[in-house]
Every structure is written in C-alpha cells, then in structure tokens.
Amino acid sequence: MSSAGVREQVATAQRVVVKIGSSSLTTPSGGIDPERIQRLVDALAAVRQSGREIVLVSSGAIAAGLAPLALKTRPRDLATQQAAASVGQGLLMGYYTHLFGAQDLGVGQVLLTVDDVTRRGNYRNAYRTFGRLLELGVVPIVNENDTVATHEIRFGDNDRLAALVAHLVHADALILLSDIDSLYTSNPHKPGARRVTDVHGDEDLAGIDTSSRGSSVGTGGMVTKIEAARIATSAGIPVVLTLADTADQALQGAPVGTLFHPTGKRRPTRLLWLEHASDARGELTLDAGAVRAVVQRKASLLPAGITAVTGTFTAGEPVDLVGPDGVVVARGLANYDSEELPGLLGRTTRELTAALGSGYDRTVVHRDALVVLDHSASS
C-alpha cells in the first residue's frame, strides 16, 4: 500500500493506541508540565469526541514522582524507582482525570504486568476490561505496573508496552509520540543526519545509527521505538512516530513524522512478546532432529530432543532453544524448572511417564508458547 493509503488508514482508524514518553510530559527537572499535558489531552479529546476510540499509554509516573521526593535524577535502583512510581502515578492520573473531565470524558487507569499479555487467563481478562472501558466511553490510560514489576519480568519500556497493548486491544493504528519529530539516519543534531519518512521493513533500517540514549527522565531511545514499531507492524498495525506537539496532525493522517508500514498479520500477543520483548532466562540445546521438528514442523519440544540445559529458570519463564551449532533457533516458555530437566534429557515421554508418573508426560516447550527466530535452521 502507498504511503498516502497507509496514512488514510491511520486517519480513519476506529481504535488507536497513543503512547507518550516521559520527556514529552515533564519539565527538565522532572515534574509534570501543565502546558504539555494540556495539549496532549486536547488532541486526544477531539479524536474521542469524533467517535473514534483512544487508548493512551502514558509514561511519566516515575518522572512525576522525582520532584515530590526531592530526587534530582531518575533513580537507578529498583526500590527507589518503584517508590517514585507509587508517588507519581497518582499525580499523573490526577492531571488526566481533571483535564479529560473538563471535556466531559472519563478516564480509567490500567496498570499491566508481563503476565497480563502472556498468560491466557490474564490476557482475556485484560482484553475484556479494555473493551468495557471503551464501550462506556472512557479513555483507558495504561502504564506498566512499576510498583510491583521486577527487573527480570517486565516490559522494559513503554514503547514495547504500547505495541503489545495495540495488539491486545485489536487497535487499528499506533502513534508513538516523542521529543524528536521523526526517525533519522543518525542523531538529528549531527551534520548529515537525514529524516526517514517511510519504513517498509528492516531493509529501510539498514545503516541507521540508533546509539543515542533517551532523556534523563525516560528509559527509552530510538532503538526502543524502532523495536515497538517492529512488534506492531509485524502484527499488521501501522505506526507513526512523531513529535508530541504534532499528535493531532498524526491522528488526522497528515504526513508528519515517520510512517512504519504493516509487514505481517495478527498473531498471539505472547508470541510477539517472546520474540521482541522478552529476555531468556536459560538455554536448551537441541539435537538436529529436534531443531527440524521445532523449526520445520512447528512441533512442541520434547525431552528426548534436548542434550543440555544452561541457566536457572522456573516453569513459565522464557528460554532460548539452541541448535548443535550454538545458534538460537527459537524461544519459548518452559514447562519445567531448570533443576528438573537434567534427569529427563534424551528420554521419551512414554519412558518418563512409566518411570516417574503422569506428571511428566508434558512437553518441555509447547508449540503454542514458542516462536521461531531462525527460519534458516529448517533447511
């Protein structure tokens, strides 16, 4: 589809997820900037009042909590980050409640953890909650549940969270609002940096320098926005990356920012998370036959095909599946703890059931919780 066609798709999208970063909502010292948040709410309220549905993924909780706690910079330790988030989340929601309320729109706070998009029961409940909020005319405001998230199990940044939320709520478009107006070939402050208007796939990203970090109050940078765009577009959702001040123009399909064209079709959200936003807690080394079964036949992984276990993990955590040559071919959610597996390797499920009981007849990684990362391994 042409750029104009995809822009029109964004302009007519019935359900849109909009993500705003911390640096676009706060002052340099970390407090909420009333003028910035007012402009954002005005743009989103106009879209909602036109009959379209808006889900807002808003950073800023930790940043908003810095000033009240007399913190000069974003804390590095998890406990202080969580304390700042606890203080700041209420302040942030207070602003949104007041400003949307002034335009006769209600808001609802939705705090998500990784479990909410990877475990089927949680996922279905989250989807129903979003659906009902939107039916009631409410603007859901989403953030990661920073006060309880751990370093090991979290989205990592709200760009990825926004992409997964866009998939979860069956959004028609995703708008990533930043303090930079577009994707550039390198830092836009450097001589020779060129604006990238359209991205049709990874080939358009070759040679782009994404080494610049995010702001002092945020966690992201351009690399996380590109990864978020990959997640959303691989599920068929167009993405616009643009300046926060041009949110209204982006929602109307104007040629602002960088347009990421859809590259794939919808698939289970937890598979998107596994491929793009998870960190493996260990490795399972497979023999050649198991690699072919997993990659080529899309089969589940059984104990008989595993030759080694590396790392420490519990059932339900992500693990990399590695071929005999050391190449990671897939990632999936383990059904066993790492300490259970060594005694099961190389044995069939029938042998294990006979020796250990019916509790050991399950797969190590089920095909529905597995994503292939290296398709060339099937050749």
Judging by DSSP bridges, how do beta strands 139-144 and 53-58 pair with one another? parallel
**Mean pLDDT, range 211-228, rounded to an integer:** 63
Q: Tell me which of 63-72, 228-237, 299-308 is least confident.
A: 63-72
Domain over 280-378 is classified CATH 2.30.130.10: yes
The predicted-structure confidence for 279-289, as pLDDT tens digits, reads as follows 788 999 999 99
Select the more confidently predicted residue: 174 or 80.
Answer: 174
Q: Judge whether 236 and 246 are in contact, CB under 8 Å.
A: no
28-77 tens-digit pLDDT: 766 788 999 999 999 999 999 999 999 999 988 888 888 888 888 888 88
CATH of 3-272, one of 3.40.1160.10, 3.30.499.10, 3.40.50.150, 3.20.20.70: 3.40.1160.10
Which pLDDT does position 112 carry in this prediction?
86
pTM, full prediction: 0.78
Beta pairing, strands 239-243 & 258-260: antiparallel
Q: Cβ distance 168 to 11 under 8 Å?
A: no
Query: Which range is least confidently modeled, 104-113, 204-213, 231-240?
Result: 204-213
Q: How does residue 153 score in pLDDT terms, banded at 50, 70 and 90?
A: very low
The pLDDT, as a whole number, for residue 147 is 56
- pLDDT band (50, 70, 90) for residue 118: low
- The domain segmentation of the chain, as residue ranges, is 3-272, 280-378
Q: Which residues contact 365 (CB under 8 A, 6 or more apart)?
A: 284, 300, 301, 319, 321, 332, 333, 334, 335
What lies within 8 Å, CB to CB, of 111 at 6+ separation is: 89, 142, 143, 144, 145
Q: What is the mean predicted confidence (pLDDT) over 250-277?
A: 85
Q: Which two tokens stand for residue 8?
A: 């029109």
Q: Which amino acid is at 173?
A: A
State phi, psi for 69 to the nearest 5 degrees.
-95, 10
Average pLDDT, the chain: 86
Alpha-carbon distance 318 to 324, whole Å?
A: 20
Which of 284-288, 297-301, 348-352 is predicted least confidently?
A: 348-352
pLDDT at 152 over 60: no
